[in-house]
Amino acid sequence: MTNLYCSQGHQNPSGSKFCLQCGEKIANIPTSVNQGIQPGQTLGDRYAIIRQIGQGGFGRTYLAEDINRFREACVLKEFSPQVQTPYVVQKAEELFQREASVLYKLQHPQIPRFRELLRLNLQGKESLFLVQDYVDGETYNSLLNSRQQRGLKFTEAEIHQLLQQILPVLEYIHSLGVIHRDISPDNLMLRNGDKLPVLIDFGGVKQVAATVASQYYQTGAMTPPSNGTLLGKIGFAPPEQMQTGVVSTHSDLYALAVTMLVLLTGKQPQELIDTYNLSWQWRKEVILSPAFGQIIDKMLSPIASDRYQTVSQLLQALNPPKTQPVNYPQYPQTQPPTSATVAFSPPQIPVSEPVITANPAKPKPSIWTGTNVFIMTLALFTSLGLLAWGFKNRSQNLNASNPTITSSPSSTEIEKPAVNFSPEEKQRKQKLSDSRENLGINYKFYVALVNQVFREKDPSLKGRILSDNPEDESLRAEWDKTAAQVLEKLSAISSESRRQLGNYTFAERDRWKVAVNKINVGSRSLYHLGDAAFLREFPEQKGKDFIKQPIGQVWYAFVNDQLNAILSKSAFTRIVFPEGATGKTVNGSLQPGRGKVFIAGLAKDQNMEVKLEANAKLLLSIYSPSGKIVFLEDSQERSLSKTLPETGFYEFVIVSTASEPVDYQLTVTAENPPAPEPTPTETPTEEPTPTETPTETPTPESN
């Protein structure tokens, strides 16, 4: 049986004349459709189709691999108008270009990244494809269906957590003037890697489809609606959106409340609302706490002005201030302590999971994982002047749109030395304070970082409570010594990158990828350089999963510096063979913990030879243009001979693990295979002309 779809993509059984979800008249679209794009086909010389993963009213959705981006998984959403006139196609592309500019500026770890708009002619039919990142996960609608089969639904605690995780995403898009317009369980996905919700299928794209196709199907002409396209699912969208097309930030909050009720009750909106007076009757389906029930009711108010107007207002309602005083724990003192300690909130240290080099000895969080944020709480007794040296992780989901930690303490928070501290200890602590300020490092992040390093040196100190009395002076001195060492290591980072410590998120990874891809370098090569610089200063972190710790922020800072080194070409060179030559030799010297990336444009079937003359402290990595083939990685091998499988820019990465400068000489040669000998029946009239070694191939597009 062939399903039918309305202009908004709602699925209906064969023979339907009206959409069962929104009531729209279904156009007389032929049901005999082709089988779509077959697996293995490559679109735009870039996207290799893996399989079809969905079908809607305007086309199909495909899972594909981006062969220009190391075969990263991506999604191609097809828009192929059934009515194929030059005007319809032209208008569709104009509107999609406009919406693409909106999608492009959305750079958030819980929103699939927009890659490009692709226009193709397939079998004589114009098609537009929106290319976005692939989300490995399930929609909340699918999750609900799975639970209902077991007699289960979502709990209030789960919904409360979901709100805490998705509201920062809405706050982010609203800050850019973007309204989603189509929030529902179908457009929320739970990502498998980090178990964070992801917001998909923005209504702006569907509005384009509705504007282009629905108007044509229903009227036979492209006449723009007088009050905007009426977009949204019946029951999920607020009344004013369905009646006038007018949307605001509170429109998304209304749809979000309906979505939460569907997950809580397992009922569709039409089953929860009284169609006579349009009042919500959800309380007979689920029992919620009074406070949470009031929040849901306010979000669902039929009068727009009575709802929460912003995400910030809603978050304040969900997280009311404590009625009782809260004694927030503090940190081991690196500033001179005072007899009357000033309490302050724990820092919010954003952490993320970037893709780093493929060496199993190095931390390798999975691709496209979300941003989990950890609050490092350090127990410090305040009124008694006691110091706590251990810390504990509490996983929290903070506002990903503003993932910053609080600024350095004001002068009122910088405590005076305790009376019983020796003059030497007071002087030592003041020196640490001055060094930190000179380096521009956030105080709270600095304390969390030093605590981590100090604890890892002696795990038995985890949770150890230290007083400011003389008997603990030796441990305080050891902590201060660790702090001084950490500050010395951080001084190797540029001031620009140091200022961002505590603020890095995995959105940086996307920015880095775009930047290096523009010069035909893969992010894997960048991470090799970042690892070398980071592990020189913190060798004890090798092989550890440090990204979710404060030390992971330091890794980000080192990689950011190496990115700048590559872009400034101090750590990047393009190898170009002299005219008529088949090879090139480059010489140089690497400082400890530094590296360099080389690229060379070579052709398929050429015979490549690589030779590196250097001591064993220099490691060599070689990658194919697509990144799919790894010839060497962090290797001490000094030569390689291969027949090349691809045409494009090959990457050669050298990093130093030495403790002193090391000279190197890298030679790359590439010769064309010999021309085949003519058979006895062939009489060549002239010598075959060998193919020239390419010096340039098209630059992969970046997003």
Which residues are known to be catalytic?
A: 182
- Bridge-based pairing state of the strands 47-56 and 607-613: unpaired
Cα end-to-end distance, the chain, whole Å: 39
Mapping DSSP onto H, E and C, the string for 374-405 reads EEEEECCCCCCCCEECCEEEEEECCCCCCCCC
* Residue 335 CA: distances (Å) to CA of 342, 390, 413, 429, 433: 12, 17, 9, 6, 6
Quote the tokens at residue 669.
């040669």
In angstroms, the CA 209 to CA 186 distance is 18
* Residue 9 CA: distances (Å) to CA of 27, 342, 571, 606, 650: 12, 57, 50, 49, 43
In angstroms, the CA 20 to CA 561 distance is 56
Helix runs in 82-225, H state only: 86-104, 140-148, 156-175, 203-209, 215-219
Q: What are phi and psi of 552, to 5 degrees?
A: -65, -30
Q: In the 8-state DSSP scheme, what is residue 303?
A: S
Q: What are phi and psi of 49, to 5 degrees?
A: -70, 130
Q: Is the C-alpha dihedral spanning 131, 136, 141, 142 positive or negative?
A: positive
Starting at the earlier edge strand, list the strands of the sheet with 59-66: 42-43, 47-56, 59-66, 72-79, 125-133, 114-122
Please name the helix (run of DSSP H) or strand (run of DSSP E) that holds residue 608, with its range, or none: strand 607-613
